[in-house]
């Protein structure tokens, strides 16, 4: 057992946490849409073909917003294929994932699904093979009152009220050579600026997201952000970050250290944003939209080979990763990294919602079940609401090969005044139990029940595929030593949530 101490102070409050950090991502890819959220022959399908059991699971997960329709898919997509009478919609050969797109689900259906799931839609526009006109016409279809050609088309299709989609992503991973219509940073920056300018001229209430680098591993990383922002700074509200981590074969401690790499990535892009802000003498601040993130152990070339070797088919099953307890620890650390940087990270979309690198899995014609990563997301979406507290941790450390010195405990503290509680989220990256003391300065712990929820399994490779309740949270006890101190034990290789009911000294 090793000892650690954590100190928080009620007066050292950093920033309000945006609920949109708890977002997800739906792309027309594999079984994410078809046989994921939509399966019209399923016994749980509603009148529009959406699975009610999946909607219930999305609500349980606590998803607040969903990005759509891609992803790589969007760069060959014409939104006009997916509206109007279904029997007249064209079937297309979809190039990104080498599949047949039936267009049964399009803009109107997805908006209906978001209303049922109670999530905010975030739309991406095609800046790969299309451009300004396609983006502006989609915006008019979605957001403008009837009276002109595209808004009237929406009304004709049975949807008189505008959808008022608030956030628009200007393309997807436009730096990547795999992207249909990928561009240089100068070409993309010019096009994104023109598109954002036109879209905001049509609807000045919207917020726009420009593409950042598709990962830290691409050769143009950092140069891409700087150049794109120099073109788009006056028109953009967010810049996107994408990152997936694998590398389980490097060992658990090295694997879990990658959440620190993610924090470094966030801070680097924030620095670039602020450098461009200074260069332009601007008063505007660009925020971060981390609109693709997750744990991915399937090599990219294996995915590419699977796509290339496949015959054209509808909703082919591929890249359906089964997550382990070990994966859930890194996943939790990645989500905690964004909460810890909530001053600038305002939107995040876990990728993907169903079946591919997903928290929610479905069986075609059958059940829905939750992967281990579902639980840290669900609890954090519900309880990591409020104000991020500055925290100081004294804890043993280890040296990572890729990052700096890493603390064995990863933690984030959130103060929710409305609920009169401070909530701590903790990952133990070590194979030993930790005895943790938490000093809560400026708070008075009440006599009400406090709670510690733990996600732990003695087998790091355990998953929920065959036994869906194999890796699930449990409740354990911890002690309140006095009115402002807590003691708890943190299991080896575990994720934990501690809720502490409090009064503040000034109440």
Pull the structure tokens for residue 210: 């420009």
pLDDT at position 506? 62
Q: Which overall architecture, per CATH, does domain 2-13+386-504 show?
A: Sandwich (2.60)
Q: Which of 94, 173, 254, 263 is catalytic?
A: 173
Rounded (5°) CA angle 152-155-156 = 85
pLDDT at position 308? 81
- DSSP summary character for residue 344: T
Pull the structure tokens for residue 129: 């093979």
Per DSSP, the three-state class of 458 is: coil
| Cα–Cα dist 274/393, whole Å | 28
Please report which helix (H) or strand (E) contains residue 256, including its range: helix 252-256
pLDDT at 4 over 90: yes
Domain map of the chain by residue range? Answer: 2-13+386-504, 18-318+333-355
- The model's pLDDT over 169-186, given as tens digits with 9 standing for 90+, comes to 999 999 999 999 999 999
**Is 444 annotated in the active site?**
no
By C-alpha distance, which of 109, 209, 112 is closest to 166?
209
Q: What is the pTM of this model?
A: 0.96
- Is-contact 479 451, C-beta < 8 A? no
Residue 28 contacts by C-beta under 8 Å, 6 or more apart in sequence? 69, 70, 71, 73, 77, 94, 97, 101, 105
Q: Report the relative pairing of strands 409-416 and 387-394 from DSSP bridges.
A: antiparallel
Q: Considering the chain, what percentage of its residues have pLDDT values greater than 70?
A: 99
pLDDT-based confidence at 135, cuts 50/70/90?
very high
Q: Is 84 exposed, middle or buried (0-12, 13-18, 19+ CB in 10 A)?
A: middle
| Cα–Cα dist 456/332, whole Å | 12
pLDDT at position 297? 79
Domain 18-318+333-355 in CATH: superfamily? Glycosidases (3.20.20.80)
- The model's pLDDT over 316-344, given as tens digits with 9 standing for 90+, comes to 998 999 999 999 999 999 999 999 999 99
Q: Tally the residues of the chain.
A: 507
**Is 292 annotated in the active site?**
yes
In this predicted model, which residue has the larger pLDDT, 347 or 401?
Answer: 347
pLDDT at 11 over 90: yes
**Which parts of 288-373 fold into alpha helices (H)?**
300-308, 325-340
Q: What is the mean pLDDT of residues 255-283?
A: 97
Q: Which of 101, 292, 326, 421 is catalytic?
A: 292
| Cα–Cα dist 377/63, whole Å | 9
Q: Crossing angle, helix 52-61 and helix 374-383, to 10 degrees?
A: 60
pLDDT at position 449? 66
In this predicted model, which residue has the larger pLDDT, 148 or 318?
Answer: 148
Q: What is the mean pLDDT of residues 31-57?
A: 98
């Amino acid at each position: 057992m090793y000892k650690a101490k954590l100190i928080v102070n009620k007066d050292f409050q950093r920033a309000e946490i945006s609920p949109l950090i708890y977002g997800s991502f739906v792309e027309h890819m594999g079984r994410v849409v078809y046989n994921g959220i939509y399966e019209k022959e399923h016994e749980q399908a509603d009148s529009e073909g959406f699975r009610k059991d999946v909607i219930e699971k999305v609500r349980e997960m606590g998803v607040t917003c969903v990005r759509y329709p891609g992803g790589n898919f969007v760069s060959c997509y014409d939104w006009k294929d997916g509206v109007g009478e279904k029997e007249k919609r064209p079937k297309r050969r979809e190039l990104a994932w080498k599949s047949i797109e039936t267009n049964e689900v399009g803009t109107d259906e997805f908006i209906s699904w978001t209303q049922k799931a109670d999530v905010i839609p975030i739309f991406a526009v095609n800046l790969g093979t299309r451009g300004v006109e396609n983006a502006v016409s989609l915006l008019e279809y979605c957001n403008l009152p009837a009276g002109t050609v595209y808004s009237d088309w929406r009304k004709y299709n049975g949807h008189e009220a505008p959808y008022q989609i608030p956030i628009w992503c200007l393309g997807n991973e436009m730096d990547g050579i795999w992207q249909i219509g990928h561009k240089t940073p100068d070409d993309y920056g010019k096009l994104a600026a023109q598109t954002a300018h036109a879209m905001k001229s049509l609807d000045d209430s919207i917020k726009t997201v420009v593409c950042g680098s598709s990962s830290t591993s691409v050769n143009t990383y950092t140069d891409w952000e700087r150049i794109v922002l120099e073109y788009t700074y006056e028109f953009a509200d967010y810049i996107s970050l994408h990152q997936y981590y694998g590398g389980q074969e490097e060992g658990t401690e090295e694997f879990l250290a990658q959440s620190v790499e993610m924090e470094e990535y966030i801070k680097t892009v924030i620095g670039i944003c602020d450098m461009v802000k200074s260069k332009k003498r601007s008063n505007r601040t660009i925020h971060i939209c981390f609109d693709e993130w997750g744990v991915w152990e399937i090599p990219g070339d294996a995915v590419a080979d699977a796509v290339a070797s496949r015959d054209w088919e509808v909703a082919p099953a591929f890249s359906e990763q089964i997550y382990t307890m070990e994966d859930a620890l890194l996943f939790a650390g990645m989500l905690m990294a964004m909460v810890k940087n909530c001053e600038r990270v305002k939107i995040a979309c876990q990728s993907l919602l169903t079946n591919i690198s997903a928290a929610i899995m479905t069986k075609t014609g059958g059940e829905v079940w939750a992967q281990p990563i579902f639980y840290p997301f669900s609890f954090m979406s519900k309880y990591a609401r409020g104000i991020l507290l500055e925290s100081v941790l004294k804890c043993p450390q280890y040296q990572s090969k890729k990052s700096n010195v890493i603390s064995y405990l990863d933690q984030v503290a959130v103060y929710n005044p409305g609920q009169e509680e401070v909530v701590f989220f903790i990952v133990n990256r070590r194979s030993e139990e930790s005895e943790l003391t938490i000093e809560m300065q400026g708070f008075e712990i009440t006599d009400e029940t406090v709670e510690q929820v733990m996600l732990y399994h003695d087998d790091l490779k355990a998953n929920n595929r065959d036994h869906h309740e194999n890796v699930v949270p449990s409740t354990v006890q911890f002690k309140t030593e006095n009115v402002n101190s807590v003691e708890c034990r943190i299991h080896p290789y575990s994720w934990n949530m501690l809720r502490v009911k409090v009064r503040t000294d000034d109440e």
